[in-house]
Amino acid sequence: MADKFDVIVIGAGPGGYVSAIRAAQMGLKAAVVEKWISEDGKPVFGGTCLNVGCIPSKALLEASHKFVEAKHDFDDMGIQAGDVSMDVKKMMARKDTIVKNLTGGVAGLLKGNGVTAIQGTGKVVSSKQVEVTDQDGKTTTYDADNIVVAAGSVPVEIPPTPLKEGLVVDSTGALEFQETPKRLGVIGAGIIGLELGSVWSRLGSEVTVLEAMDDFLPMVDGAIAKETQKLLKKQGLDIRLGARVTGSEVKGEEVVVKYTDAKGEQEMTFDKLIVCVGRKPYTQGVIADGVGIETDERGFIHVDDQCRTSVPSVYAIGDCVRGPMLAHKASEEGVMVADIIAGHKAEMNYDAIPNVIYTFPEVAWVGLTEQEAKSKGIEVKTGSFPFAASGRAMANNATEGQAKIIADAETDRVLGMHIVGQHAGEMVAQGVIALEFGSSAEDLALTCYAHPTMSEAVHEAALAVEGHAIHMVNRKKKK
């Protein structure tokens, strides 16, 4: 008979493996089920994030950015780099090594914390049972007092652009190119599309991004989104808004894409096409019929604020439940659920989840945009500071972008922080902390920041909320 566990987690991505480790740390007997296997048949941990998402894409973004710096920016600093070239295959090999090291590291963490790793495809078959089918088709049923579904998500496919290996690919396929395509099409101007488009644009591709929506980055503050679009266009990304793809055809080694925009029917030919129009929850087949766990028409599992499903003892976290599909959101939910199962009080602040786009410059935000706050009837005051006025940004050759803070006009409480600039993803943590602790803009303004740092832009933006920025001329505030 199979072992019985206090908790079994289905999925070893950033939500699942974190939840299993936390549960073990809380003294619970924990297991994690993962179907991903390596070429030699061993379980591969880390999910989409470590294997084909966050980590490998950042490896390519960093390498391609350094290539651009060496080719175009070093000369301004007096560095003579000579004829710079990129070995794409070597770049990809480095990416693969990073992934292997990190996934192996997760395996070590699970073992070191006493978590039982079970290879196979997990399915919830009752409120306290998980059936696991291994790669040979053998099934084993495990009993557990609690079950956590952390099955993650998969890329959305659209009928007009069916995938074709090597030519029409999703975000996973775009991480495997072995040479730079001359003409690259990207469907979707979201986080994934802009990041992958940036990688290959830096390496010499003519990149065209087709976005069906009329607004660029609508989830970002309007001023930040407008500046980001301008900067990416300057870098060579041809971003076409209101461009709805209607069909595609593979002709030899080319892809012909048809779309409609304000001018009518359009057609473009690419050497490669990346389809990144979003992701959907991977829940089909994860829950047996009749268990009673409620899902919506898109496959998302219904949960409450503490990730409990409609079935007692079954929880769900990460990409397969409501909220942004972000690795760090999944991880925090995993910790919360493990703590609850262990008998502790735990909650999560869904209003303080940061987002980052790892283009250059980076785009990062947390909380409300100015537009969202006003739509909620909140009177706001804002402060912005450009990196063009930052001494550290000048020294770094990174003067593009700005930091912006949105605060409640009556209480001065910080409602949101939006940044486009070098290291924005690091700086936005200040906004997360401010929201978590209910800080005021004045709290940030009265904080002593190290000089010179990029973070001083946040300090100056906080000062600018009341028109007191030091290192720029303040606009007169309306009384």
CB of 255 closer than 8 Å to CB of 269: yes
Q: How far is 349 from 93, CA to CA, in rounded Å?
A: 39
447-453 LR contacts (CB < 8 Å, sep 24+): 451/391, 452/390, 452/391, 452/392, 452/395, 453/392
Say which amino acid occupies 172.
T
Say which amino acid occupies 192.
I
* Cβ contacts of 406 within 8 Å, gap of 6 or more: 221, 367, 368, 369, 370, 373, 380, 382, 414, 415, 416, 417, 418
- Count Cα atoms within 13 angstroms, Cβ side, for 429: 6
Beta-bridge mates of residue 132: 122, 140
Assigned token pair, 48: 């989409």
Name which of 13, 83, 72 is nearest 46 in CA terms: 13
Following DSSP, what letter does each residue of 43-66 receive, concatenated? B--SHHHHHHSHHHHHHHHHHHHH
Say which amino acid occupies 156.
V
Distances in whole angstroms, Cα of residue 89 to Cα of each of 92, 137, 201, 385: 5, 36, 17, 41
Pairing state of beta strands 238-241 and 314-316? unpaired
Q: How far is 47 from 34, CA to CA, in rounded Å?
A: 9
**CA-atom Rg of the chain in angstroms:** 24
Beta-bridge mates of residue 322: none
User: Euclidean distance between the first and final Cα of the chain, in Å?
Assistant: 74
Name which of 242, 239, 277, 245 is nearest 258 in CA terms: 245
Q: How far is 431 from 405, CA to CA, in rounded Å?
A: 8
Is position 459 annotated as part of the catalytic site?
Answer: no
Pairing state of beta strands 380-386 and 402-408? antiparallel
* Active-site pick, 65, 328, 423, 451: 451
CB of 146 closer than 8 Å to CB of 7: yes
Q: How far is 435 from 350, CA to CA, in rounded Å?
A: 10
DSSP character at residue 70: I
> Within 10 A of 395 (CB to CB), how many other CB atoms are there?
11
Residues recognised as catalytic: 451
